[in-house]
């Protein structure tokens, strides 16, 4: 199975809302959707302790770590070793999330280490200059997400989405652009993809839904529909 992220893609990011059996159930549902819609990539970000279990019970999703440090095997107690998450089954990683910010030097080193191991990088940026800087570092995916909109249910406006897309693609057309601020419904997914994003994702809109599995399904279906209609 290819673990190269392709457009369109959807990221289910349960953060620390889910773990253990509950997380495995939704990961399996995401895996079913990935098998049903092979034209898109579906990623599930997983707490470190659950990476191996999720990898062992799924086949089609890209298991994604929530963070890693740009270190090499050796000293570094309490840090997240890239080889460790790779061995556990992660083939992508989130870096510089608003809840886990990194210095420029640490981010650059983590991206370098990820490339050495073949781990796809999804790097967060909350402004256009920051997105441009991350593009220069060679991220595989850039998540353009104004920090003030995270978890608010308010999505980025058209101008922000279009401007960030253009700024990143001007530096490297192969970088995929993820827009996910405030995504809480399938309609939000559809609209964001319609505006030109390569992918999107969601946390609380799924974990807090009456039926998380049904909401995950509806969002992936909206992603596929918008991408097809966009041509």
- pLDDT bin (cut points 50, 70, 90) of residue 126 is confident
Indicate whether 176 belongs to any domain: yes
Which of 87 and 99 is assigned the larger pLDDT?
87
Q: What pLDDT score does 159 carry?
A: 79
**Mean pLDDT estimate for the chain:** 92
Query: Is residue 118 in a domain?
Result: yes
Residues 62-78: what's their mean pLDDT? 95
3-state SS of the chain is: CCCCCCCCEEEECCCCCCCHHHHHHHHHHHHHHHHHCCCCEEEEEECHHHHHHHHHCCCCCEEEECCCCCCCCCCCCCCCCHHHHHHHCCCEEEECCCCCCCCHHHHHHHHHHHHHHCCEEEEEECCHHHHHHHHHHCCCEEEECCHHHCCCCCCCCHHHHHHHHHHHHHHCCCCEEEECCCCCCHHHHHHHHHCCCCEEEECHHHHCCCCHHHHHHHHHHHHHHHHHHHC
The whole-model pTM stands at 0.93
Q: How far apart are CA 158 and CA 94, in angstroms?
A: 24
If one counts the domains in the chain, the total is 1
Q: Is residue 1 part of a domain?
A: no
The verdict on residue 2 lying in a domain is: no
Give the per-residue pLDDT at 230: 83
| Band of residue 139 on the pLDDT scale cut at 50, 70, 90 | very high
Domain that holds residue 211: 7-228
Tens digits of residue pLDDT in 196-215: 899 999 999 999 999 999 99
Residue 151 pLDDT: 53
Q: What is the pLDDT of residue 30?
A: 98
**Position 150 in a domain:** yes
**Does the residue 11 lie in any domain?**
yes
Residue 166: inside a domain: yes
Residue 109: which CATH number?
A: 3.20.20.70
pLDDT tens figures, 155-188: 557 778 888 889 999 999 999 999 887 889 999 9
pLDDT at site 1:
59
CA 172/CA 214 separation, integer angstroms: 36
- Going by pLDDT thresholds of 50, 70 and 90, the confidence category of residue 41 is very high
Residue 164 lies in a domain: yes
| Residues taking part in catalysis | 97, 145
Give the pLDDT band (50/70/90) at residue 153: low
Does the pLDDT at position 147 exceed 80?
A: no
Question: Is the confidence at residue 67, as pLDDT, over 90?
Answer: yes
């Amino acid at each position: 199975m290819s673990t190269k992220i392709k457009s369109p893609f959807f990221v289910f990011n349960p953060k620390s809302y889910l773990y253990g059996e509950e997380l495995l159930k939704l990961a399996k549902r995401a895996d079913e959707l990935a098998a049903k819609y092979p034209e898109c990539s579906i990623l599930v970000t997983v707490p470190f302790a659950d990476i191996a279990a999720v990898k062992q019970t799924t086949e089609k999703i890209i298991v994604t770590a929530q963070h890693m440090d740009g270190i090499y095997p050796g000293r570094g107690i309490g840090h997240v070793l890239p080889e460790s998450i790779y061995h556990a089954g992660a083939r992508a990683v989130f870096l510089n999330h608003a809840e886990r910010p990194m210095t420029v030097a640490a981010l650059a080193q983590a991206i370098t280490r990820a490339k050495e191991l073949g781990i796809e990088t999804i790097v967060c940026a909350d402004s256009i200059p920051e997105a441009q800087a991350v593009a220069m570092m060679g991220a595989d995916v850039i998540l353009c997400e104004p920090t003030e909109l995270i978890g608010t249910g308010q999505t980025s406006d058209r101008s922000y989405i279009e401007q960030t897309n253009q700024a990143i693609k001007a530096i490297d057309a192969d970088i995929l652009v993820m827009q996910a601020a405030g995504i809480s419904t399938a309609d939000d997914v559809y609209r964001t993809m319609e505006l030109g994003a390569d992918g999107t994702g969601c946390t609380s809109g799924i974990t807090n839904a009456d039926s998380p599995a049904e909401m995950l399904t509806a969002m992936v279906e909206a992603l596929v529909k918008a991408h097809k209609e966009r041509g």
